[in-house]
């Protein structure tokens, strides 16, 4: 075809990237790779290997070691041995190492981009222009945090040995997201790359060698799911960071429940892409191309649910079809290709199966008549319209180039549809009306909201999900905190095991043999005193064994009522921070006025000295969280784009609190007040030592203008009520401050909806010491960060 003819047709000719350097790198390693442990390459202990293939051709690229439990053990031991010296390095020294990693990534950028495309199947333009530059950016950014760590995070220390498991869709970028903050904060790492895409992680191991990173600081063990399972279960790992499917995230939560391992999970998504009738439709269509066909839709935050305002739906669908017809699928090393290969046969089959199910449920399927490669693993860009909100393609993550389209009429309906999912990872809002865009963005339950843009990422801006999209953040200051914990907490002593609660309906539970009952309280639900559904009560005895009164024994139905009341009080989170502060100040004022009478009653259970201290410090604690209510602010990030990213600290929702046993009043206030201050509602189970404090507390709340339902109190045996709360799907987070068994139970029982869990890990917290018993540590667990990206300029 002549140049003149090409000018008329505007057809692309082939523009292949030269793979010679990447193939040479593979050949220099004889296309056979061991593990990278303690700074050296070692062969797998079991002598087993597996192949990694190019999904665009099916050709074998290399043989890679299959990691065993023994290999994981060797890597963890290497990381543990390296930890003291790495943590003891000066901040500047660690910063220099991270800076060196960033520089070497830049120097090898073309090799890494080609290798990524060959192993993963994504278009070379994406690997070259997005993935690898962001990898370097993360190491540069975290070199800065390494330099500033002691200044910015006083009193915090590294978790220790971190196990990291990354997915196959962004192999090297996910490595950078995890390794950079871990190293910056003084941790050492054992990383398991995805079975389908291990090559760039192994190339990164070579970079660690090149810069002279101390042996054992980074260890890379390849393998399948069994290798990851061995890493998760290893007893000498202090933290697990996982990115992958929600199903595997649940399994990891279960496997780590009885350990003290910290856990961060970045899981699946079903992100809404909302287009209003005043949007720039052409801009929205281009955003949609990036939102769902970027990386063949194999993106956890892909905008896979298109929500269109009804009045522009027909026009928008027409534009989308026209644009889909111009997409080019083909060999991913071709620089003119838009859509590359699906990573593996099993994933390709899953995409086809879900599309077929969606069609069977009534969706209309449209695919452009574009040329598809005759070999390799490819799936055409697909539009499913007339999708019902309950259809499998609207609810389940497809992880492929498939868009499910629905309509809405009003902004309120758009928000309802957007939040009609168990996920909450990301979303897009397209509107020329900034008031509409920001109002909707604030109401969407997602960790990231892009306004008039999509799939923008930066190391300074945290990324992570709400609900079953996981918890924890990667990137930004909040991502750094995932690898730090209070120094005092690591060395805190372990609490003694709690006495087992009596079986439900036992004589001990319903004992009425002691006639001298001088006080009885009720449950506190929805701002009102309530009788227990069970009809049972339990004795409360003082230090000398004397009966002080009875409290109700709450049961599953009482918890249900309390949770319903808490959900109905969600407007507490929408009130201004100033108003919440005022209510808390009233509480402190009212507690001060009743100081003597409350202390005298509490003294019967804990003694006069402790009772007086609990009341006095309780007043201070309420004032502290009243002060924090309008000062625990977010931030505005300035990423290297024409955007600002507004990082907002949002309430989690409804939080269940299992209060500390050892300080009935102060422990309650120390845990419930930060929950309230940040705009959450609470269902609290008070200390069994003196649950009669409930009577004083609900009088305090009633006289302090606290809205009914913002705090609900259910008395009873904590171990029994803990299970009900942790399993409840309308509880968004659970805080548990008891013995080790309680901490493990809170984690294990919460797997159903993967609610956030904050526990003391069975360690003693000195609630009388403000350095341990109050402050940012609690506020961070009472909030989740939402980053709203807003573009500016013409």
CB burial of 193-218 (b: ≥16 within 10 Å; e: otherwise) equals bbbbbbbbbbbbbebbeeeebebbbb
Residues 480 and 138: their CA atoms lie apart, in Å, by 12
Of 159, 300, 301, 453, the catalytic one is 300
Q: Strand runs (DSSP E) across 721-782, as ranges?
A: 733-736, 756-759
C-alpha closest to that of 214 among 38, 77, 36: 38
Q: Specify whether the CB–CB gap between 324 and 383 falls below 8 A.
A: yes
Active-site annotation holds for 266:
yes
Contact of 645 with 458, CB cutoff 8 Å: yes
Tell me the C-alpha distance between 36 and 482, whole Å. 25
Q: Give 428's Cβ-side CA count (13 Å radius).
A: 31
* Residue written as token pair 């609690």: 778
Helix (H) or strand (E) holding 772: helix 770-773
Contacts of 665 (CB under 8 A, 6+ apart): 598, 602, 611, 614, 615, 618, 690, 693, 696
Contact between residue 455 and residue 131 where contact means Cβ atoms under 8 Å apart:
no
- In this structure, the number of other CB atoms found within 10 A of the CB of residue 531 comes to 10
* Total H helices, total E strands in the chain: 30, 32
How far apart CA 450 and CA 284 sit, in angstroms, is 12
Cα 501-737-779 angle, rounded to 5 deg: 150
Helix (H) or strand (E) holding 589: helix 577-593
Nearest Cα residue to 143 out of 205, 90, 87, 96 = 96
Rounded to an integer, what distance in angstroms lies between the CA atom of residue 32 and that of residue 64? 6
362: left (phi over 0), alpha (psi -120 to 50) or beta: left
Q: Count the Cβ atoms, other than its own, within 10 Å of residue 349.
A: 12
Distance CA(772)–CA(776), nearest Å, equals 10
Distances (CA, A) of 187 to 75, 132, 159, 407, 635: 14, 24, 6, 48, 26
Using CB atoms within 10 Å of the CB of residue 300, give its burial: 0 to 12 exposed, 13 to 18 middle, 19+ buried.
buried
- 736 counts as catalytic: no
CB 643 within 8 A of CB 787: no
Kindly give the pairing relationship between strand 49-53 and strand 448-451: unpaired
Cα(437)–Cα(428) distance, rounded to whole angstroms? 9
Q: Which listed residue (126, 266, 397, 478) is catalytic? A: 266
Helical residues (DSSP H) of 325-433, grouped into ranges: 345-360, 392-395, 411-418
Radius of gyration of the chain (CA): 28
Q: Is residue 13 packed enough to be buried (19+ CB in 10 Å), middle (13-18) or exposed (0-12)?
A: exposed
Backbone phi and psi for residue 697, each to the nearest 5 degrees, phi listed first = -70, -45
| Nearest-angstrom CA–CA distance, 203 and 186 | 23
Q: How far apart are the first and last CA of the chain?
A: 39
In degrees and rounded to multiples of 5, residue 575 shows phi and psi of: -70, 160
| Residues forming the active site | 266, 300
């Amino acid at each position: 075809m002549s140049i003149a003819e090409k000018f008329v047709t505007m057809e692309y000719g082939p523009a292949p990237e030269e793979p010679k350097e990447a193939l040479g790198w593979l050949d220099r390693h004889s296309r056979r790779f061991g593990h990278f442990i303690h700074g050296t390459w070692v062969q797998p202990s079991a002598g087993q290997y597996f192949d990694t293939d190019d999904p665009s051709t099916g050709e074998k690229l290399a043989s890679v070691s299959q990691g065993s439990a023994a290999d994981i053990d060797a890597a963890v031991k290497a990381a543990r041995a390296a930890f003291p010296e790495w943590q003891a390095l000066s901040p500047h020294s660690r910063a220099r190492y991270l800076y060196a990693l960033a520089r070497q990534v830049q120097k090898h950028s073309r090799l890494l981009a080609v290798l990524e495309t060959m192993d993963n199947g994504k278009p070379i333009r994406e690997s070259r222009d997005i993935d690898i530059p962001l990898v370097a950016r993360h190491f540069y950014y975290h070199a800065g945090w390494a330099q500033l760590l002691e200044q910015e995070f006083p009193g915090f220390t590294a978790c220790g040995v971190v196990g990291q498991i990354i997915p196959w869709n962004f192999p090297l970028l996910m490595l950078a997201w995890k390794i950079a903050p871990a190293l910056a904060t003084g941790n050492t790492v054992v990383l398991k790359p995805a079975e389908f895409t291990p090559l760039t992680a192994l190339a990164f191991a070579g970079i660690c060698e090149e810069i002279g990173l101390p042996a054992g600081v980074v260890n890379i063990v390849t393998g399948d799911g069994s290798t990851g399972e061995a890493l998760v279960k290893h007893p000498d790992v202090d933290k697990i960071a996982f990115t992958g499917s929600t199903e595997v995230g649940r399994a990891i939560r279960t496997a780590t429940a009885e350990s003290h391992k910290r856990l961060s999970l970045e899981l699946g998504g079903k992100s809404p892409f909302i287009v209003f009738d005043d949007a720039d439709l052409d801009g929205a269509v281009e955003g949609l191309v990036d939102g769902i066909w970027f990386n063949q839709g194999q993106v956890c935050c892909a905008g896979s649910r298109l929500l269109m305002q009804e009045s522009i739906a027909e026009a928008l669908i027409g534009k989308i079809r026209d644009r889909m017809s111009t997409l080019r699928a083909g060999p991913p090393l071709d620089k003119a290709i838009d859509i590359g290969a699906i990573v593996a046969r099993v994933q390709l089959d899953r995409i086809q199966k879900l599309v077929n199910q969606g069609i069977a449920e009534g969706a209309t399927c449209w695919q452009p008549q574009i040329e598809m490669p005759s070999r390799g693993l490819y799936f055409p860009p697909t539009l499913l319209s007339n999708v019902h909100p309950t259809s499998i393609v609207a609810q389940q993550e497809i992880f492929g180039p498939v868009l499910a389209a629905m309509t809405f009429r009003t902004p309120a309906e758009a928000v309802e549809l957007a939040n009609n999912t168990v996920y909450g990872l990301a979303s897009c809002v397209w509107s020329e009306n900034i008031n509409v865009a920001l109002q909707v963005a604030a109401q969407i339950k997602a960790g990231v909201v892009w306004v008039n843009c999509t799939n923008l990422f930066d190391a300074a801006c945290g990324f992570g999900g709400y609900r079953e999209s996981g918890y924890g953040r990667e990137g930004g200051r909040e991502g750094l905190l995932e690898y730090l914990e209070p120094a005092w907490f690591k060395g805190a002593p372990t609490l003694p095991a709690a006495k087992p609660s009596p079986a439900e309906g036992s004589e001990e539970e319903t004992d009425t043999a002691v006639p001298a009952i001088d006080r009885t309280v009720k449950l506190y639900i929805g701002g009102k005193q309530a009788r227990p559904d069970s009809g049972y009560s339990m004795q409360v005895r003082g230090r000398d064994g004397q009966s002080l009164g009875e409290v109700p024994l709450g049961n599953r139905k009482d918890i249900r009522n309390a949770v319903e009341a808490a959900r109905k009080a969600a407007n507490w989170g929408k009130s201004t921070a100033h108003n919440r502060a005022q209510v808390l100040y009233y509480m402190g004022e009212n507690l001060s006025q009743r100081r003597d009478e409350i202390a005298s009653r509490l003294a019967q259970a804990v003694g006069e000295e402790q009772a007086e201290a609990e009341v006095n410090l309780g007043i201070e604690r309420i004032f502290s969280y009243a002060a924090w209510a309008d000062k625990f602010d977010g931030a505005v990030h300035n990423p290297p784009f024409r955007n600002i990213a507004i990082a907002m600290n949002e309430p989690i929702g409804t939080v269940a609190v299992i209060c500390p046993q050892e300080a009935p009043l102060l422990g309650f206030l120390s845990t419930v007040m930060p929950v309230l201050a940040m705009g959450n509602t609470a269902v609290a189970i008070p200390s069994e030592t003196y649950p009669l404090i409930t009577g004083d507390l609900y009088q305090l709340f009633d006289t302090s203008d606290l809205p009914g339902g913002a705090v609900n109190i259910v008395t009873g045996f904590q171990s029994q009520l803990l299970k009900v709360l942790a399993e409840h799907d309308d509880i968004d987070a659970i805080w548990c401050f008891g013995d080790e068994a309680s901490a493990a139970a809170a984690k294990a029982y919460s797997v159903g909806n993967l609610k956030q869990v904050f526990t003391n890990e069975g360690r003693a917290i000195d609630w009388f010491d403000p350095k341990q018993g109050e402050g940012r540590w609690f506020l961070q667990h009472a909030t989740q960060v939402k980053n709203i990206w807003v573009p500016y300029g013409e």
